[in-house]
Amino acid sequence: MTSAVEVTAQRLRDRGERVTPARLAVVEVLAGTEEHLSAEQIGERAEELRPGIHRATVYRALDALGEFGLVTHVHLGRAGTTYHLAGDLAPRHLHLRCSECGTVYDAPGDILEAARKKVQRELGFQLAPEQVALVGVCVECQG
């Protein structure tokens, strides 16, 4: 099985983009966790994987990988912005954030498909719920 790092390296080469240690470290960090990591946390972990990589370089790598459609981010409200692999590098999913405790949950990417289609059909608007966290109250906080 081809790893996300190998796929990313090949896609960068195919695009004529540079395959840098920072870009590969970012993908390795994201591929190795299910956590919702901030840019700062990704920078810390990338530095641990590849000592000598500067945090600013990791931030530039995140931006570039985002532009290439290999990494995406989601705004979690007061919890900040987190990053994860995009497209076929990771399963499509949505984020749910509890307004009481702040916990972020992953939800299946197709859970809002009917609503997405209805909004497109009736309003001509394409939703991108993957870019934001849906806010509500979790089971534990409801109790």
Indicate whether 130 belongs to any domain.
yes
Considering the domain architecture, whether residues 48 and 107 belong to the same structural domain is answered as: no
3-class DSSP string for 51-81: CCCCHHHHHHHHHHHHHCCCEEEEECHHHCE
Cα–Cα distance between 61 and 106 in angstroms, integer? 25
Is 0.85 surpassed by the pTM of this model? no
Considering the domain architecture, whether residues 77 and 112 belong to the same structural domain is answered as: no
42: tokens are: 């990704």
pLDDT category at 1 given cuts 50, 70, 90 is: low
- Structural domain that includes position 48: 4-89
With a pLDDT cut of 90, the percent of the chain lying above it is 62
Indicate whether 141 belongs to any domain.
no
Residues β-bridged to residue 85: 71
Q: Average pLDDT of 81-107?
A: 87
Binding residues for Fe cation: 113
Strand 93-98 vs strand 133-136: parallel, antiparallel, or unpaired? parallel
Indicate whether 15 belongs to any domain.
yes
Considering the domain architecture, whether residues 100 and 85 belong to the same structural domain is answered as: no
Q: Average pLDDT of 26-31?
A: 95
Considering the domain architecture, whether residues 14 and 61 belong to the same structural domain is answered as: yes
Q: Average pLDDT of 27-46?
A: 92
Does 36 have pLDDT greater than 80?
yes
Cα–Cα distance between 58 and 25 in angstroms, integer? 8
Considering the domain architecture, whether residues 49 and 67 belong to the same structural domain is answered as: yes
Tell me the residue length of the chain. Answer: 143
Considering the domain architecture, whether residues 79 and 129 belong to the same structural domain is answered as: no
Q: In a 3-state reduction of DSSP, which class is residue 90?
A: coil
Considering the domain architecture, whether residues 53 and 24 belong to the same structural domain is answered as: yes
CATH assignment at residue 18: 1.10.10.10
Going by the DSSP 8-state scheme, the letter that residue 113 receives in this structure is H
Binding residues: 98, 101, 113, 138, 141
